[in-house]
Amino acid sequence: MSRPTPTVDWAAAGRLAGTLVPAGTAPSGDEAAELVATLRSSAVRARELARRAARLDHALESPGARTEPAQVLVVDRAGWARAAASSFTGIAGGRPIPGPTAQAAGLLTLLATRVLGQYDPYTGDGRLVLVAPNVLRAERTMRVPRDDFRLWVCVHEQTHALQFAAAPWLADHLRGELAGLLAEVESTPATAEAGALLTGVVRALRGGTRDQWSFLDVLPAGQRERVERLTAVMSLLEGHADVTMDAAARAIPSARTLRRRMEARRSSTAPGDLLLRRLLGLDAKLAQYRGGAAFVRAVRRRGGRDVLDAAWASPEGLPLPGEIADPAAWLRRVG
């Protein structure tokens, strides 16, 4: 008789990760207050910069688009772990995610040391979370202008907020795809071990590429297709946000330096970085940024500056997995 598949208690995982994650770079009292204040002010300024650079004006003026700005939270690493656990609960829509709670806590702990910011459309009306010690550590490690870097990071996250505002159906669409995947997994419990399923779900929501996932190899075709559809959407969102960061360069004097050093950070070959990237699928994430950005630039080059509006209009306009690498196919399909 087979044992029941364990499911994640996300609240417990968030609490446990919050106790496990190291605090990170610790500023002095005055420096901490200044860090929080400038991150908040950068997030406010970044919203208008992102709106101009993202070319979402038409979509944001369409019926049903949201106009209110996202709530901004500046947190420490433990706070991000708890917030991320809450976000996973929201996107799952109450449906259990297979996997051990301890492993979920471990993944959150590792991610909490790396994430600079995150837009969460599944909590309240949406919130933008910035991880202060990680931002501080990154700007010091990369030796980049402090104010420019904080604004640049906020442009990326505010672009995500604007994407979900312009496409108010998008959060439910992603939740529906995940619900379908989990329902299929529940009906075929022997397809993979719970730990592999958990890792795969987390990577699907953060983005990845198939050739770096042994997880996908053990899934039936229907489940694999759902994960690949999720990955394609996340590639669009992340690539579009990266393109927007670069388009906002006129307002950020050191933007070229920031891009160059961020790419070096993402591709670091230091042994510790290589291990973390392998554990968290961050090489897949890097491929997602680059592939999505190449897709956005290519469709705009061929179809005009507003051609991407089709992607925010309905689920049918989202790129399919093969179209991220073949922008012409997406243009032919959406007309």
pLDDT at 52: 92
**For residue 289, is pLDDT > 90?**
no
Q: Is residue 141 part of a domain?
A: yes
Choice between 99 and 83, residue whose per-residue pLDDT is larger: 83
Choice between 214 and 294, residue whose per-residue pLDDT is larger: 294
Taking residues 303-312, what's their average pLDDT? Answer: 93
Q: Is residue 83 within 8 Å of residue 123, measured between CB atoms?
A: yes
> What is the per-residue DSSP string for 141-178?
HHT--HHHHHHHHHHHHHHHHHHHHH-TTHHHHHHHHH
Q: Is residue 172 within 8 Å of residue 231, measured between CB atoms?
A: no
Domain count, the chain: 1
Q: Is residue 250 part of a domain?
A: yes
Taking residues 296-314, what's their average pLDDT? Answer: 94
* Domain of residue 307, residue span: 10-334
Report pLDDT digits (tens) over 140-164: 999 999 999 999 999 999 999 999 9
Q: Give the residue from 138, 77, 158 showing the smallest Cα distance to 263.
A: 138
The DSSP bridge pattern shows strands 71-75 and 127-131 to be: parallel
Number of separate helices (H) and strands (E) present in the chain: 17, 3
Q: Is residue 38 part of a domain?
A: yes
Strand partners, 276: none
Report pLDDT digits (tens) over 89-125: 888 877 777 778 888 898 899 889 989 999 999 988 8
Report pLDDT digits (tens) over 30-43: 889 999 999 999 99
**For residue 265, is pLDDT > 60?**
yes
Q: Is residue 4 part of a domain?
A: no
Q: Is residue 153 part of a domain?
A: yes
Question: Can you tell me which residue has the tokens 């991880």?
Answer: 131
109, 114, 120, 126 alpha-carbon torsion, rounded to 10°: 110
pTM: 0.86
Choice between 122 and 188, residue whose per-residue pLDDT is larger: 122
Q: Is residue 307 part of a domain?
A: yes
Mean pLDDT of the chain: 84
pLDDT at 187: 65
**For residue 266, is pLDDT > 90?**
no
Q: How confident is the model at residue 6 (pLDDT cuts 50, 70, 90)?
A: confident
pLDDT at 7: 83
Phi-psi region of 48 (alpha: psi -120 to 50; beta: other; left: phi over 0): alpha
Q: Give the residue from 201, 207, 153 showing the smallest Cα distance to 180.
A: 201
Q: Is residue 83 part of a domain?
A: yes
pLDDT at 153: 95
Q: Is residue 5 part of a domain?
A: no
Report pLDDT digits (tens) over 53-64: 999 999 999 888
